[in-house]
A and B are shown apart, each in its own frame.
Chain A
Amino acid sequence: MLLSKLPAPAPNILAKPGRVLAYRGSGQRDPSKLASSTTDGGDEDPFQIRFPHAILAGRWELQPQHPRLPSLDDAKERVSSSARRLPHYQLFPKPLPKALTVKVYQMDHGSSPTKICKSVVDEDIISNLPEALRDKILCCLPIKEAVGTCLLSRTWRYTWGSMTELMFRRADFASGNDSADDDRRFLKFTDMFLFLHNGPILKFCLNTVANEMVSTGGHLYRWMLMLSRNKIKEIQLQTSIRDSYKVPSSFFSCDELEYVYLRACVFTSLHLPPPSKGFKQLHTLRLEYVTVEGNSLGDLVASCPNLEKLNIRGLCSQSNINIRSTKFKVLKIEGWFTHLNLHAPYLTSVWIGLELNSDTVGASTTRCNFNLSPFIASLSDVETIRFHGHILECVEREFLILKQPKLFNRLTEISLEINLGDLKEANFALCLFQHAPNLRFFKLKLISRNSMVPRVHFWESIDRDVCLFQNVEVVGLFDFTGSFAELGFLKFLLEGAPVLRKLGIIDKGLDRNVLKNLLKLRRASKDAEILILEACFPH
């Protein structure tokens, strides 16, 4: 079935040194013409091998070196059996161009191997790659150059039009001249590209941060509308903070979204979709410098059943935020908020950071409603806990109460910004340590406020029999000032950590005596290395 209808050539043709050429075309070939069209003008009879599979229109090289070659029949059998084992014709959806030469060489010891490579180098491999791979190569190029490939050849004329991952960077349009003119060119390019683009867009990235482009204006709304019609899966809009915009309603029609990164936008309750019509596939939501009105964030989270990762930096909210999810794995909320109610029992990583407005006079006047106790009590599989900023300070009247025998067995890393001299905060830290038997690494950024408060003998009075830091290996203490409470905690730590390896203390200028006393403290772990590093303040 594999042989053509040509007369079979001499049986041991392969045994002869020299070259044997085989030609595969898409149609019937006149044998007499074959001889004249071979490049080496060999005078042996060419034989034609034709295969039914489209995929086998590749290049074949026969590299026999041994003089005792099998007969032609064996070679054909080998070719056909290996041909049957190749199933992946789907990588070549389009038929290959017709004039594809198959050259079968027999190398004798005298001929140079470069002669085989010559025909390979002459060929246009890149245009014959499967569409998916050409698309991938174009997506690695800057978008302007990707469009520029339309001039290469007829095959390439519209390849750019089916790119699936788009990245528009304002920085690529910087010409050193007038910046407003560059803005205009960038917007026009993006508009025209999306207008002429043909095919699904899976990923759309926009980056206007570098040049602080002031306003994308109405363009963003049109682009979002266009993307919502194109089965978009991933959107990253890194716009400049000064370019604040309301999230367009067409954004909520992008049903297939899986990853979203938005910056400097405003979420209001008015145009959110009902909970039944949210993003069913969304797994990661990343927001920066967003303003949230009402409980729109909570509503959005509720409408995304598969959301696993929520990362918000620079959150601005004045109202109550109520977030409940049983799917969350990673949660980070940092910003300026006054009311936060969280319930996400299956989290593995938590990061909550509260920042205060700089115009607030003294932290004592700021209060934040955060259901700290019930929230932490509900976490069972958490691995990393981080509380930064003023969250511990501002939480009203909360003493962490965790009922025994609740233990965070998987908690290995804690990072807190804490005032060890404050009773409430110190109790929080102690409670957390008591319930984390497998803690390996923790880091405290020490805040010391009013020195007028009477000294708290909290850390000295703790029962030393229970070894709290059994598995702690690395500890970092930042902004150490050597206050009474801090030294008390340090003593407590060193006496209770039998496997401590490294303790890093970054101080703000300690007294020499304090340092000496510090190093003399009794340590439970003989391998403990105390590193005292000075913080570098920018001048």
Chain B
Amino acid sequence: MTAPTMTSRSPTSTQRSSPRSLSTARSTSSTSTAAAAPAEDLKSFDAEFVKVDRATLFDLILAANYLNIKGLLDLTCQTVADMIKDNTPEEIRKIFNIKNDFTPEEEAEVRKENQWAFE
């Protein structure tokens, strides 16, 4: 490219992720018509597809949401959910860079409020 290009991280025109998601939408829809595609291959394709860095994963989620691709949206959201699963809140915060803006009193209050969920 000789001219400067602008890449915005806005959810609609994520230029890095849209080609990737469009190509996968085309490939999965074409394989669904060819009934011979074995489930194993599709599963491993899906697993490989979401092995990206977190930023790209979120871009994929937003792109799938905007382009209304249900399969991709389900896959990517499940991948993020799998990252959250089986981790303590502190670990989750570390993975996703969530800032803990609770004061200690607030955190104690939340724990008490939802004590029934931690039993």
Contact = CB atoms under 8 A, between A and B. Distances in A.
A50 B73 CA distance: 32
A117 to B, nearest CB: 7
A225 interface: no
Contacts of A117: 53, 55
Contacts of B1: 65
Contacts of A142: 85
Nearest to A143: B117
B6 A126 contact: no
A47 B66 CA distance: 31
B1 to A, nearest CB: 8
Nearest to A132: B65
A127 B100 CA distance: 12
A79 interface: yes
Contact of A156 (B10, B86, B98): B98
A153 B97 contact: no
Interface stretch (A3-11, A51-59, A288-296, A479-487): A51-59
Interface residues of A, number: 61
A334 to B, nearest CB: 28
B102 to A, nearest CB: 7
A179 interface: no
Which of A91, A142, A189 has the most B CB atoms < 10 Å from its CB?
A91
Contacts of B110: 150-151, 157
Which of B10, B61, B66, B100 has the most A CB atoms < 10 Å from its CB?
B10
Interface in B91-105: 92-93, 96-102
A204 to B, nearest CB: 18
Given A59-B8, A125-B55, A133-B62, A153 B98 contact: yes
B65 A147 contact: no
Interface in A310-353: none
Contacts, number: 154
B55 A120 contact: yes
B66 A88 contact: yes
A121 B96 CA distance: 9
Contact of B84 (A55, A121, A125, A145): A145
Contacts of A156: 98
B58 interface: yes
B12 interface: yes
A68 to B, nearest CB: 8
Contact of A121 (B12, B97, B116): B97
Which of A60, A63, A151 has the most B CB atoms < 10 Å from its CB?
A151
Nearest to B115: A192
Nearest to B10: A58
25 contacts: A56-B10, A60-B7, A63-B7, A66-B3, A66-B4, A75-B4, A88-B66, A91-B62, A91-B65, A121-B53, A122-B97, A124-B96, A125-B55, A126-B58, A129-B61, A137-B80, A140-B80, A140-B81, A147-B114, A147-B117, A151-B107, A153-B98, A153-B101, A154-B101, A188-B119
